[in-house]
Amino acid sequence: MTSDVIKTKELTKVDPVFGQLSFDDHEQVVFCNDKDTGLKAIIGIHNTVLGPALGGTRMWQYATEWDALNDVLRLSRGMTFKSAITGLNLGGGKAVIIGDAKTQKTPELMKRFGEFVHSLSGKYITAEDVGMETSDMDLVREVTPYVTGISESKGGAGNPSPITAYGVYMGMKAAAKYKFGSDNLEGKKVYVQGIGHVGESLVEHLTKEGANVVIADINEERLQHVSNSYGATIYRGDDLYAEQMDIYAPCALGATINDDTINKIKAEVIAGAANNQLAVEQKHGAILQDKGIVYAPDFLINAGGIINVYAELEGYGKDEIIRKTENIYNTTLEILENAETNGVTTNMAALNIAKGRIEDRKSQNSK
Give contact residues for ligand NAD (rule: CB under 6 A): 1, 129-130, 160-161, 164, 193-199, 216-219, 222, 251-254, 273-275, 302, 305
Clarify whether 40 is annotated catalytic: no
Residue-wise DSSP of 162-200? HHHHHHHHHHHHHHHHHHHS----TT-EEEEE--SHHHH
How crowded is residue 262: how many other Cβ atoms within 10 Å of its Cβ? 19
DSSP collapsed to 3 states, 276-290: CCECCHHHHHHHHHH
Q: Helix (H, G, I), strand (E, B), or coil: what is residue 57? A: strand
Tell me the C-alpha distance between 346 and 343, whole Å: 9
Residue number, 251 or 269, with CB nearest to ligand NAD: 251
Beta carbons within 10 angstroms of residue 33's beta carbon: 12
The sign of the dihedral angle between the CA atoms of 174, 200, 241, 130 is positive
Element spanning 58, H or E: strand 57-60
Provide the H-helix boundaries in 190-244. Answer: 197-208, 220-230
Q: Which is nearer to ligand NAD, 225 or 361 (CB)?
A: 225
As to burial, measured by CB atoms within 10 angstroms (0-12 exposed, 13-18 middle, 19+ buried), residue 187 is exposed
Q: Classify strands 212-216 and 189-193 as parallel, antiparallel or unpaired.
A: parallel
Cβ proximity to ligand NAD: between 75 and 344 the closer is 75
How many angstroms separate the CA atoms of 17 and 365, rounded?
Answer: 28
Which of 176, 307 has the CB closer to ligand NAD? 307
Measured CA to CA, the distance from residue 37 to residue 54 in angstroms comes to 25
Name the active-site residue from 40, 94, 111, 123: 94
- Cβ 113 vs Cβ 32: under 8 Å: yes
Residue whose C-beta lies closest to ligand NAD: 196
Name which of 63 and 218 has its Cβ closer to ligand NAD: 218
Q: Shortest approach of ligand NAD to residue 217 CB, angstroms?
A: 4
Residue closer to ligand NAD by CB (options 238, 290) is 238
274 or 293: whose CB is closer to ligand NAD? 274
Question: Of 213, 252, 251, 254, whose CA–CA distance to 235 is shortest?
Answer: 213
User: What is the Cα–Cα distance from 296 to 174, expressed in whole angstroms?
Assistant: 9
Which residues are known catalytic residues?
A: 94
